[in-house]
Amino acid sequence: MDYRINKLCGRDDYSVKFNGKIGSEIANKILEVLKDFEVKSKSSDSIWLQKGDKRIFVFFYGEILFTNFTKDEVTSIVNSIVG
């Protein structure tokens, strides 16, 4: 699955946009890769994960927002998810 990483307005905030929707297989892979993060909220269209001041918002329409991450951390996480 192709993706693009964009820096957001915040100091350490990034958006990762995929070329398609995030299905249940990828959502489960995200939860597996980020198992040390607490699931704060999970609904039919999104997941909110948090560990300390780091937050991840997964939107099933095809976007993941990372708050308080470096670009290297984001790249590493996304590569672990999509292989």
pLDDT of residue 26: 93
Q: In 3D, which of 57, 52, 63, 70 has the Cα closest to residue 11?
A: 70
What local confidence, expressed as pLDDT, does residue 9 receive?
A: 87
Other C-beta atoms closer than 10 Å to the C-beta of 8 total: 12
What pTM value is reported for the model?
0.94
pLDDT-derived band of residue 1, with 50, 70 and 90 as boundaries? confident
- Distances in Å between the Cα of 45 and the Cα atoms of 21, 40, 59, 64 are 10, 14, 6, 12
**C-alpha span between 75 and 57 (Å, rounded):** 15
The stretch 38-66 carries a mean pLDDT of 97
The structural domains of the chain, ordered by start, are: 3-82 (3.30.310.10)
Q: What is the predicted pLDDT for the residue at 83?
A: 78
pLDDT one-digit tens code per residue, 7-32: 998 789 999 999 999 999 999 999 99
